[in-house]
Amino acid sequence: MPGITVERAQAMLDLWLAAEEALATSQSYTIQTDGSSRTLTRADLKHVGERVTYWQGKLTAAERRASGRGSMRYVVR
């Protein structure tokens, strides 16, 4: 079974980078009314950053496979 394609990895990385950018300006907000408040958090920026790192790795691996550079192998003598 083939791995993730370069196109798929790039699309997912782009999606998560866009999410990270959107969260950078408005991750959460608070509404205060009559002495009480409610906070809405859109997503966890740390989790989004982890997904960016994950998809960067997948993209690098897919690009290596596509160029024929696959995984590195070591021979111990």
pLDDT over 60 at 1, yes or no: no
Question: How far apart (Å, rounded) are the C-alpha atoms in residues 43 and 23?
Answer: 7
Whole-number pLDDT of residue 31: 84
Confidence of residue 43 (pLDDT cuts 50, 70, 90): confident
pLDDT in tens, 2-30: 689 999 999 999 999 998 988 888 777 78
Question: How far apart (Å, rounded) are the C-alpha atoms in residues 20 and 63?
Answer: 23
Whole-number pLDDT of residue 27: 74
Beta bridge partners of 38: 31
Mean pLDDT, residues 42-71:
90
